[in-house]
Structure 1
Amino acid sequence: MITVAFVVFEGFQSMALAAMSVFEYANFSAAETLYDVRVLSEGGHTLRASGGLSVGTEAFDERVFDTVIVAGGDSILEQAPDTVLDYLRASTRTARRTASICSGAFVMAQAGLLDGRRATTHWAYARQLQERFASIKVEADRIYVIDGPIWTSAGMTAGIDLALAMVEKDHGAELARSVAQKLVMYHRRAGGQSQHSALLALEPKSDRIQTVLGYAREHLAQALSVEQLAQVASLSPRQFSRAFRAETGQSPARTIENLRLETARQMLERGRLTLDQIALETGFGDRRRMREAFLRAFGQPPQVIRRNARHEASA
């Protein structure tokens, strides 16, 4: 049985504990107790999370845990309690892996656990983390990063992806998929996937433009001209272009390229299709055009992004 400790503090973000459900459902799916999960704090008192939820905890002691996960929270961005830092430093000598969710990376950094390592955190805090702790290689656009025994994740929901990756590492991909299905997750994100969603960033106001975006997402392999999209919206091409830019702040062409880039990157990270197949299925047409688009958007060619994703998986 694998023991897991979630380390919390007064004012922590309760969403971090959503990752506990992954281990709970791993036990349920396997019909046996694969994980024993505890919530620990400095004094073992009932703590109040930032959203008002009260959580009972157990005190730090000499117990050894296989996995230690630090929650995030604004209350510890500047300085976490010394007892928490001391506990983490001691636990890394006995734990197989130590992890953080969201701004919990700041606690890990304050304890010196991220020195010289690759790490990530919520995109809104990434620059601050890099400026304060120059020895860390902050990868600001990752869902999670694994560097040896140290695991770090982005925003709170990324903690679920992190926990699923742990389950897959411990017990295989089939169990991780079963857990993701029970949690009704659309898909399980790879660590190298971007924290940002092209569709989420647009926020169109009308059903008409939302319908166009849904259509485009489902037909990326097609040319998707302005005339074709305008027909879906039941507008003239000129009316459609004006309405689209007014609602999204982008031209239709830019949006379609962003959707193609996001989808192609997800396919690369899953590693199932060749570059030629991905280029065709996402509408780039050929590897050259896809490579040029990746260099503009990410500063890296598709091969490097795929290699990084495979490195994460093997780590």
Structure 2
Amino acid sequence: MDLALALVEADHGADIARSVAQSLVVYRQRAGQSVAVLGGATRSGAAQPAGAHVADLICADTSHPHKVQTLAAHARISPRHLTQLFRAESESSPAEYVAFIRFGPARDKLHAGYSVTEAAMAAGYGSSEAMRRAFIARLGISPSK
């Protein structure tokens, strides 16, 4: 994915590459029954793995705090095991996944005319400053509206 974005940037510039990166949602099914939980979507068979179940819970309500201990309890596994599942399935921690998922709703709220503070609260950020840091880390720019 990074290579594809680098090629887009080389051909069309950083602004277009940034726009493409913002709009991407990546679905990935690994070999066997392992589910990758990226971009807010999961694929699974009849018996949903704990990691995918927790990912669906996070995606259903980004405004909820989603602490690792609470998510693990919901999945009836230990916080350590949940973290291991996320690392194996999505190469991120549960907290990193929550941060990744919150970004989309925050961006959508800004595009819909919400203020930065309103968008931050609706997406589950603790403050507009937390959302600002997330935008800078991901896009290199602060949110505005």
Superposition TM-score, scaled by structure 2 size: 0.73
Kept after mapping to 2: 8 A contact 1:126/1:138: no
- The correspondence of residues 76-91 of structure 1 with structure 2, limited to 5 A, is none
Between structures 1 and 2, the one with greater strand share: 1
Could you say what secondary structure the match of 2:99 adopts?
A: helix
Shift of residue 124, structure 1, vs aligned partner: 6.6
**One-letter amino acid of the counterpart of residue 27, structure 2:** L
Q: Distance between the aligned counterparts of 1:222 and 1:298, measured in 2?
A: 24
Quote the Cα distance in structure 2 between the aligned partners of 1:125 and 1:298: 17
1:216 and 1:138, CA in 2 relative to 1: closer, same or farther beyond 3 A?
closer
Render the CA deviation track for 1:40-85: whole Å, top value 9, x for unaligned: xxxxxxxxxxxxxxxxxxxxxxxxxxxxxxxxxxxxxxxxxxxxxx
Distance 1:137 1:284, change over 3 A: closer
Greater RCO (CA < 8 Å, at least 6 residues apart): 2
Q: Secondary structure at the match of 2:137?
A: helix
Q: How does 1:142-153 map to 2 (within 5 A)?
A: 142=19
Offset of residue 138 of structure 1: 5.4
Question: What amino acid is aligned across from residue 290 of structure 1 in structure 2?
Answer: M
Following superposition, the deviation at residue 128 of structure 1 comes to 4.1
Q: Which runs of 5+ in 2 are unaligned?
A: 29-34, 38-43
> How much has 1:216 moved relative to structure 2?
0.5
Listed as ranges, the matches of 1:64-79 within 5 Å are none
Structure 1 CA distance for aligned equivalents of residues 15 and 65 of structure 2 = 37
How many residue pairs get aligned? The number is: 127
Separation in 2, partners of 1:277, 1:208: 32
Partner of 2:51: 209
Select the structure of larger CA radius of gyration: 1
Partner of 1:194: 22
Query: SS at the partner of 2:17?
Result: coil
| Alpha-carbon shift at residue 213 of structure 1 (Å) | 0.9
The answer to whether the 8 A contact 2:82-2:94 is kept is no
Q: Deviations over 1:82-135 (max 9, x none)?
A: xxxxxxxxxxxxxxxxxxxxxxxxxxxxxxxxxxxxxxxx847413414xxxxx
Q: State the alpha-carbon separation in 2 of the partners of residues 302 and 195 from structure 1.
A: 16
- Over the matched positions of the two proteins, sequence identity in percent amounts to 24
Counterpart code for 1:279: A
If each structure's helix is expressed as a fraction of its own residues, which one has the higher value? 2
Q: Mark the runs of 5 or more structure 1 residues left unpaired by the alignment.
A: 1-121, 131-135, 144-192, 307-315
